[in-house]
Structure 1
């Protein structure tokens, strides 16, 4: 829809140059500009959007929104370009969240799995065609699925996705909300009908600077949310959040939680547990492993119950929920298990390796073999912590390259290896080769964990981006391994 001049000035709080009657599109990417667009020059971490104004004008932009004047360009000067981008995106796409119920899920670990669990429950209660999902792993609109670009995309993409879902009859959306998405105003203007907080541990301090600021950023979602607010209280940050925000309901193992997790035990396909609320206990089962996934499922169940979804509907939906891409995803094996997981912090890696140990013990006294690395251009302090966790919890580890971006992969690996105890890790920088070494090392009853990339299909390296999908690479190597072992047996 077109945004007229008067509306533009109201949104921007700034004078729009004479001759600009309105806009018929908005973007922060000069490559996507079309005739009649507004180009928002967002100051980036590496380059300033003002540098791309000439290209935007050449492609037909009629208005530039920037935080300073740009000579020779029709500019509306604003104090916050990202806030302006969000406001314009909301207006251009017709404020789609006002016609929907959007539920935001935030925290350090468990966001994606919690989103999938809540989406499964809402789909079971209200029909899959009327429910949408926006996560790190993929976007689901009714029965249509496609890979996601990032956890929380830019404001224009968020509003475009919501508008597309609205047009297809979706009325309830589960959205994974990252701290970047909040801090960089990517979700500004979204009306949240409810929210879930999973937990908080060290991550993204390269952006936030401190755990306090990281926490305050996450808390903003709960100040926006208009409906049920569910907070996991098994860590101190969750307990603090529950005490600082009005109307919060809590879940977890902790005594006094409004929705208390009890009687957790493994099942053949995953985990069983009871969720006690108001004197009654709802028996639940999920096709997921580990107590942390019980917490994730409990948060989703608690919010659904707060919405009035019947307990039997919640139980049936969780029991049948699909495997979450790249979240303790079982890829196969040759008498041993191979797991792909997105764990990219020391806390996430510890949780995954502890569950892997439980799985290894179920069948035999198998070993845990881990392939992992750390991302470049991110909080470097967690690198040795990850090395320490792997050396303590895995029997054998291969430190490899994650997303190095512009950093030297060898330097990152050395910093990870600095935390390794007893020399129980080997550096193999080539990720495919590291995975190959781990799979060839594995024997019957072992569990191989390939951590860090999860569902992602691209590896960001100093020399450029290259296609790489852990699960696909694992399957290719397993085929080679099966063929080789088959030939060996024939001899």
Structure 2
């Protein structure tokens, strides 16, 4: 693409790629000097030019401009990069029905529900914590919401692969760092707002302000905001949203409301009230929070043209979502459930569900807390497990360069009455939970889900995933049904 198509009055040199990492620049790339928390892209202009960058987009004065590249000064490099990426990749989000899902918990589940049901009508892609999927392509994820250049490239790939829609998890980090500014969403879904990410955002107000960007920027024609009417932030988001608002919930009157909810160990049923009509819904997903997730997806899919009867019928057959309330059944006489829960609200929802289905049996919880992240919630995790569990096995969970035992000690500050042990090796902790279980017990393995990596002192290292680890340990114990 000609540089003049990206910037007015620019030379007509040919741009073959976009890049903001000087180490990855290839000949013909346009290099963006992004300011960062640790490094400033302006400091690496020489490296980018040496590698063949055809142009440099910068915001600071450059005294010594190397020959061989065109220099374009802008006020905001991040804004310019988003606009260039949108044009360079031919505005892919304009060519698909785009679902953006944000909230503290439930993003992955909602995105996967939407992908599964939407594909009954047309090809649908997915980008999020679990994977990047479209057609026959399945790629490992990096961040929940990848950087702007990667996003536009993948959305372009999806369009070329025949995708007509896409479900995208939108994290608060991604919003605050402007990774989705150039994406035009048709639907913005809000799941819930609870304590999380204060190590990055600093305050709950700052965290909420980041989430709200998705709804403030929803400007696509016929766009719709799908909001949880039972959440404390509902009124704030309703007033901020520039698009039409559709509501869902259970406790208050709303557009899509669930009543008569019944949660069983292997299924959920409820009655959906929509425009004074009542529809019976059955789903393979369990737990009360998944009723909210289902309602959000039902509303979003229905509002974007899918027949309500088809959507509700599909709810009964939603496949198990990897690492999200994933029930591991290898024929054992006790429950093993793996979930990504890593926030106080997510932990409590899972522990409460475990307590509900355990009845008179034990709840055995296996979890830790991430190193170098939000220390305040560690004691809260201990308090929650102390309230619902009968045995707590504390273990590593992305310790980074912190000592896992020190993290466990901070969690133990919230444990007063429940027996607890510390088993540093996560694989061994899961094995001990399975070996310790009796008929009817419920084992909750929380925090990592299906993530195939763990952060240690040396960086990101391979991890088998809690779900795969549980299967292996069950097989070692003699259970091999799956």
TM-score past 0.5 threshold: yes
CA spacing shift, 1:309–1:8, aligned 2, 3 Å: closer
| Unmatched tracts of structure 1, length 5 or more | 485-491
Specify which of 431, 439, 442 is matched with residue 437 of structure 2: 442
Residue-by-residue CA offset, 1:107-129 (whole Å, 9 max, x unaligned): 001111111122222112x13xx
Whether contact under 8 Å (2:256, 2:272) holds in the other structure is yes
Residue-by-residue CA offset, 1:376-418 (whole Å, 9 max, x unaligned): 2322221211121112111111121111233333333222222
RMSD: 2.2
Task: Kindly indicate which of the two structures has a greater share of residues assigned to helix.
Answer: 1
1:420-435 equivalence runs, <5 A = 420-422=415-417, 424-435=419-430
Tell me the equivalent position of 2:162: 169
Specify which of 213, 216, 240 is matched with residue 223 of structure 1: 216
Alpha-carbon separation, structure 1, partners of 2:311 and 2:346:
26
Residue-by-residue CA offset, 1:241-288 (whole Å, 9 max, x unaligned): 224435211101122212111111135731011111110112212111
Whether contact under 8 Å (1:106, 1:178) holds in the other structure is yes
Is 1:275 matched with 2:259?
no
Alpha-carbon separation, structure 2, partners of 1:421 and 1:241:
38
Query: Displacement of 1:143 after TM fit?
Result: 4.0
Specify which of 420, 444, 457 is matched with residue 462 of structure 1: 457
Specify which of 286, 305, 309 is matched with residue 308 of structure 1: 305
Alpha-carbon separation, structure 2, partners of 1:49 and 1:399:
41
Which deviates more, 377-386 or 154-163?
377-386
Tell me the equivalent position of 2:76: 80
Query: Displacement of 1:144 after TM fit?
Result: 3.3
Whether contact under 8 Å (2:389, 2:418) holds in the other structure is no
Q: TM-score, normalised by structure 1?
A: 0.90
Which deviates more, 74-83 or 446-455?
74-83
Alpha-carbon separation, structure 2, partners of 1:472 and 1:268:
21
For the residue of structure 1 that corresponds to 2:336, the secondary structure is strand
Alpha-carbon separation, structure 1, partners of 2:58 and 2:419:
52
Tell me the equivalent position of 1:65: 57
Which deviates more, 194-203 or 137-146?
137-146
Tell me the equivalent position of 2:24: 32
Residue-by-residue CA offset, 1:359-384 (whole Å, 9 max, x unaligned): 223xxx22111111111232222121
Query: Displacement of 1:165 after TM fit?
Result: 0.7
1:305-454 equivalence runs, <5 A = 305-333=302-330, 334-361=332-359, 365-422=360-417, 424-454=419-449
Query: Displacement of 1:72 after TM fit?
Result: 4.2
Alpha-carbon separation, structure 1, partners of 2:409 and 2:43:
37
CA spacing shift, 1:32–1:258, aligned 2, 3 Å: same
CA spacing shift, 1:7–1:215, aligned 2, 3 Å: same
Tell me the equivalent position of 1:45: 37
Tell me the equivalent position of 1:182: 175
Alpha-carbon separation, structure 1, partners of 2:405 and 2:58:
39
Residue-by-residue CA offset, 1:45-95 (whole Å, 9 max, x unaligned): 333334544443332212233343454445434443332322222122111
- How many residue pairs get matched? 470
Whether contact under 8 Å (1:374, 1:401) holds in the other structure is yes
Alpha-carbon separation, structure 2, partners of 1:36 and 1:203:
41
Whether contact under 8 Å (2:265, 2:286) holds in the other structure is no
Query: Displacement of 1:475 after TM fit?
Result: 1.8
Alpha-carbon separation, structure 2, partners of 1:309 and 1:295:
19
Alpha-carbon separation, structure 2, partners of 1:409 and 1:217:
31
Specify which of 2, 5, 8 is matched with residue 6 of structure 2: 8
Alpha-carbon separation, structure 1, partners of 2:165 and 2:475:
41
Residue-by-residue CA offset, 1:173-223 (whole Å, 9 max, x unaligned): 111111111111111110101111000011112222211121121111112
Alpha-carbon separation, structure 1, partners of 2:106 and 2:326:
14
Residue-by-residue CA offset, 1:10-67 (whole Å, 9 max, x unaligned): 4xxxx96xx7824210122234321110222323333333454444333221223334
Tell me the equivalent position of 1:121: 117
1:96-245 equivalence runs, <5 A = 96-124=92-120, 126-127=121-122, 130-225=123-218, 226=220, 227-245=223-241
CA spacing shift, 1:267–1:391, aligned 2, 3 Å: closer
Alpha-carbon separation, structure 2, partners of 1:267 and 1:483:
24
Whether contact under 8 Å (2:265, 2:357) holds in the other structure is no
Alpha-carbon separation, structure 1, partners of 2:61 and 2:415:
52
Whether contact under 8 Å (1:372, 1:400) holds in the other structure is yes
Query: Displacement of 1:337 after TM fit?
Result: 1.5
For the residue of structure 1 that corresponds to 2:207, the secondary structure is helix
Alpha-carbon separation, structure 1, partners of 2:475 and 2:193:
39
Query: Displacement of 1:421 after TM fit?
Result: 2.3
Alpha-carbon separation, structure 1, partners of 2:479 and 2:100:
46
For the residue of structure 2 that corresponds to 1:218, the secondary structure is helix
Which deviates more, 473-482 or 49-58?
49-58
